[in-house]
């Protein structure tokens, strides 16, 4: 992730927060990549995982016979996974040099939505593909997000967090634009699909929403976007029995 990534990389529960993302979305991501043929090619695929986070997809990819280069600005959680088939690199995709025409697959999940230069970065990622190589970009469309039964205070807190993130370049609806951007970039056979979940506070994926709030809580209060009272009430509410409608995880898929 870039250096101005809004989530606090020093947050004590960051690995658990990333685990919430994995619990929610890894099954669907694995299905997408299997459909593209990651495990069925005669020659093993060489893959680039962008913003590898906690690294849950890396060993799954190598289990499909692939070799993987995993890049992130914060590699502490993936460094222990380094092996003969997994190479770890600390990279800022906005500015650092990237390989050219090297990969059969490039995958990025919940990365481009955070970057104001997302269109230019997409072009950079496409140059890393071999001819015929696939790129899969997954990002949120927050339109559908909400709490069952309605909760005005949680709604205010959610809106404040999104406004805070937008100041750093976050686009909460990039998922609905990714397919158009991929087509405009000249990719072939571009298509898209979306998936969403309804989860409760007992679901492993709930940690993503609870801990994302806790990671940003002090900063959002400090910026005056919500009151300390609303923040404390939201924190308590996240500890109760609550059901969440997730954002839509949109996937854009295309190849060179």
Cβ within 8 Å of residue 250, ≥6 positions away: 138, 139, 140, 141, 175, 176, 178, 179, 192, 193, 194
Rounded Cα distance between 68 and 115, Å, is 23
What would the pLDDT profile of 109-153 be if each residue is shown by its tens digit? 999 999 999 999 999 999 999 999 999 999 999 999 999 887 888
Q: What structural domains does the chain harbor?
A: 13-146+169-198+247-255 (3.40.50.150)
What would the pLDDT profile of 202-248 be if each residue is shown by its tens digit? 998 999 999 999 999 999 999 999 999 999 999 999 888 999 999 99
Task: Give the mean pLDDT of 46-72.
Answer: 97
Tokens in use for 204?
């492993």
Read off the pLDDT band of 21 (50, 70, 90): very high
Task: Give the mean pLDDT of 74-86.
Answer: 97
Backbone angles phi, psi at 7, to 5 degrees: -70, 140
* pLDDT for the residue 2: 44
Report CA torsion sign: 161, 165, 167, 170. negative
* pLDDT for the residue 4: 52
Q: How far is CA 65 from CA 45, 110, 119, 241, in A?
A: 7, 25, 31, 42
3-class secondary-structure state, position 54: coil
Of 7, 4, 20, which Cα lies nearest the Cα of 204? 20
Read off the pLDDT band of 181 (50, 70, 90): very high
């Amino acid at each position: 992730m870039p250096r101005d990534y809004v989530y606090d990389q020093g947050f004590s529960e960051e690995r658990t927060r990333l685990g919430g993302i994995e619990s929610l979305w890894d099954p669907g991501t694995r299905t997408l990549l299997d459909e593209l043929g990651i495990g069925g090619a005669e020659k093993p695929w060489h893959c680039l995982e962008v913003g590898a986070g906690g690294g849950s997809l890396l060993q799954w990819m190598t289990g499909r016979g692939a070799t993987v280069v995993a890049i992130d600005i914060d590699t502490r959680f993936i460094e222990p996974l380094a092996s003969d088939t997994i190479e770890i690199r600390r990279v800022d995709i906005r500015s650092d040099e990237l390989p050219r025409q090297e990969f059969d697959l490039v995958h990025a999940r919940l990365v481009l939505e955070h970057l104001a230069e997302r269109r230019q970065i997409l072009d950079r990622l496409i140059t890393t593909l071999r001819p015929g190589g696939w790129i899969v970009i997954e990002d949120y469309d927050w339109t559908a997000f909400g709490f069952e039964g309605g909760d005005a205070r949680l709604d205010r807190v959610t809106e404040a967090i999104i406004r805070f993130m937008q100041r750093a370049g976050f686009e909460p609806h990039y998922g609905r634009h990714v397919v158009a951007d991929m087509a405009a970039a000249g990719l072939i056979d571009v298509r898209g699909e979306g998936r969403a979940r309804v989860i409760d506070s007992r679901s492993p994926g709930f940690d993503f929403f609870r801990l994302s709030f806790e990671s940003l809580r002090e900063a959002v209060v400090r910026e005056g976007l919500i009151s300390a009272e609303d923040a404390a009430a939201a924190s308590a509410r996240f500890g109760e029995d609550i059901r969440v409608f997730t954002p839509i995880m949109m996937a854009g898929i295309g190849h060179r």
